[in-house]
Amino acid sequence: MHKIGRFYHVFLTYLKDALEYRSKALVYFMYPLVSTTVMLIFWYAASSTHATGGYNFSFFLSYYLWMMLAGSALMCYAEDAIARYGIYRGDLSAQLLRPFSWMTHVLFAEVPWRVMGGVYSVLIMVGVSIFLFPIQHNTTVVGWTLAIIAAALGFTISFLYKFILGSSAFWLTNTRGLTSLSDIIIMLFAGQLMPIRLMPPLFRSIALSLPFSSMVYIPVAALQGTLGTIELLRAIGIQLLWLCLLIPLQQFIWRRGLRVYTGVGQ
Amino acid sequence: MKRYLSLYWTLIKLNWKALREFPADSVTSIFSGLIWGVFMIVSLQLLFWQIPSVAGWTREGVVVLGAVYSVVVGLFRAILSRNMDDMAKVIHMGELDVVLSKPIDTQFLLSTRLINISGLVRVVVATIFIVWFLPHIGIHPTVIDLLLFGALCLLSLLFLYGLYMSITALLVWYSHTNNLVDIAESLLGTSRYPQGILQRAPFIIASIFVPFFLIINVPSKALLHRMTEADVVSLALVSVGTFLFSRFFWRYALRFYTGAGG
């Protein structure tokens, strides 16, 4: 109980810090908002003149709005803070002495920003739904429950992956190339560019066999209601499988990284 | 003018030395740039997998769009982008005092002191790709076409410079929101799409995106022999106008700068 209270107060501290910079969070939210807007304009133009894989504009509108929410609320961006401030700048040295793990610190620092991004996304979605077009969504209690589970798992997978990515700074003097490559792969294979089901068969197979689709695409499909219960359970199974792979991998990389870490002048 | 050109040449030499000091950094930068260049083209091809054309642009045409994007944005990343990121830090940390005390135009010094020479590799590769690809779609550019393309790319660069400079000037008042430049980054990422898609968009939204679409679409149309006079005039007006505004706005912002303990 005492431990939960301690974590609660630590989390509150990071939440207050994030709320202090809510305009900064709004600027970060511009990225998914702008890309969503352009993709909707593109598909509106495309669907007006051609058949678009059997889907109408209403599908694309719902897909990209849910993807905007997932990208803001579920996709973590902690790798830069881990690499630049934790490892390169040496903030990790002080954190290692604290009575809670560095991973907990990073998680608590990340969650408030995801919450704020999620709030901005929900506001946009409510506005669109009321004033413009209805948004497709899951309609059953079971569907919503499974969608929330898929979203929670998606966030966890995203966090673990980005933590591993940031930890590469233990061995690399510059992680920019690696994070750039990761960003591109995620954009392609997490369904952020376009729905995975509309991709060429080869890309589709690659996307569904990598963990990136588990981060945002599966939660989006679940929230949009395009997956049946059995399909959803199978997708959650795949997410759990990725968790079982990523957790020990993160532990292994973390322990190895600490052995080579040297914090100078902290 | 001669003084500034001489100073810029010195800055190039200094950045070249820095590049040689950190070769791994340069390799990373080249690798990252090339990967992004390839991604631009691949992403457009994926979008066009299900549809033969959008707003008059075919799959082949958007390959040219993607490559021109790499040229323009590559140039921007190489010559100006790092300076814009650095300016946010300089203003926020109060280091602008030191720059202001130098006997040189502040805007010039802040905009040009960092040059990512390795980023030019992406520009060169994209240009070679364009010259190789165009004959494959039945277009044979002349020297005049390529010179016109180069001039339009420079106009596009002028617009980007004016835009980023204007946003950076806002940091004098809102220094804690040092990610304001990210708004321009997010808009820049949308410029690789065909301009014609904006015809069906609401006016307010379209008017925000139009300048960004112009800077890539107009040079691309020049290569594809589809450019009109209206395109050139629009790009020129937007670019020169934005640049002149940025100059005025930066000088205006400096009146409000207060560097404490710099």
Domain boundaries, chain B: 2-254
Is A16 near chain B, with CB under 8 Å?
A: no
What is the pTM (predicted TM-score) of this model? 0.89
Contacts of A30 in chain B (CB under 8 A): 182-183, 186
Asked whether the beta carbons of residue A50 and residue B200 sit closer than 8 angstroms, the reply is no
What are the residues facing B58 on neighbouring strands? Answer: B53
Q: Are strands B57-58 and B53-54 parallel, antiparallel or unpaired?
A: antiparallel
Mean pLDDT lowest among A54-58, A201-205, B210-214, B230-234: A54-58
Mean pLDDT of B3-17: 88
Q: What would the pLDDT profile of B13-57 be if each residue is shown by its tens digit?
A: 888 888 888 787 788 888 888 888 889 889 999 999 888 888 889
For residues A162 and A86, the answer to whether their CB atoms sit within 8 Å is no
User: Distance (Å) from the C-alpha of residue B61 to the closest C-alpha of chain A?
Assistant: 15
> How near does any CA of chain A get to the CA of B210, in Å?
11
DSSP B191: T
- Interchain CB contact of A50 with B (< 8 Å): yes
The alpha carbon of residue A140 is apart from the nearest alpha carbon of chain B, in Å, by 31
- The answer, yes or no, to whether residue A110 has pLDDT greater than 50, is yes
Highest mean pLDDT among A95-109, A207-221, B52-66, B190-204: A207-221
Q: Is A31 an 8 Å CB contact of chain B?
A: yes
**Using CB atoms, which residue from B53, B187, B197 is nearest to A41?**
B197
- Is the pLDDT assigned to residue A1 strictly greater than 60? no
Average pLDDT for B248-254: 92
Q: One-letter amino acid identity for A255?
A: R
Least confident of A112-121, A131-140, A221-230, A250-259: A131-140
Confidence of residue B2 (pLDDT cuts 50, 70, 90): confident
Q: With 90 as the cut, is the pLDDT of residue A3 above it?
A: no
| pLDDT attached to residue B127 | 93
Residue with tokens 């809670």: A100
Q: Is the pLDDT of residue B262 over 50?
A: no
Answer whether A234's CB lies under 8 Å from A60's CB.
no
Averaged confidence pLDDT in chain B: 89
With beta carbons under 8 A apart, name residues in chain B contacting A45.
54-55, 196-197, 199-200
How far is the CA of B158 from the CAs of A18, B241, B248, in angstroms? 36, 10, 15
Tell me if B201 and A41 make a contact (CB, 8 A cut-off): yes
Interchain pair B24, A53: CB under 8 A: no
For residue A38, give the nearest of B24, B177, B190 by CB distance. B190
Q: What is the pLDDT of residues A234-255, one digit of tens each?
A: 999 999 999 999 999 999 999 9
- State the average pLDDT over residues A127-153: 92
Say which of A21, A45, A52 has its CB closest to residue B176: A21
Q: What is the mean pLDDT of chain A?
A: 90
Q: Under a CB-based contact definition with an 8 Å cutoff, are residues B78 and B117 in contact?
A: yes
Q: Residue ranges per domain, chain A?
A: 2-260
Q: How many CB atoms lie within 10 A of CB B89?
A: 12
The residue assigned the tokens 């305009």 is A23
Look up the ipTM and state it. 0.87
| pLDDT tens sequence across B178-230 | 677 888 888 898 899 999 999 988 899 999 999 999 999 999 999 999 999 99
Tokens of B10: 């010195």
Residue A205 has pLDDT above 50, yes or no: yes
- CA–CA separation, B188 and B171 (whole Å): 19
CB B80 within 8 A of CB B107: no
Mention every residue, 6+ apart, whose C-beta is less than 8 A from residue A136. Answer: A58, A59, A62, A224, A225, A226
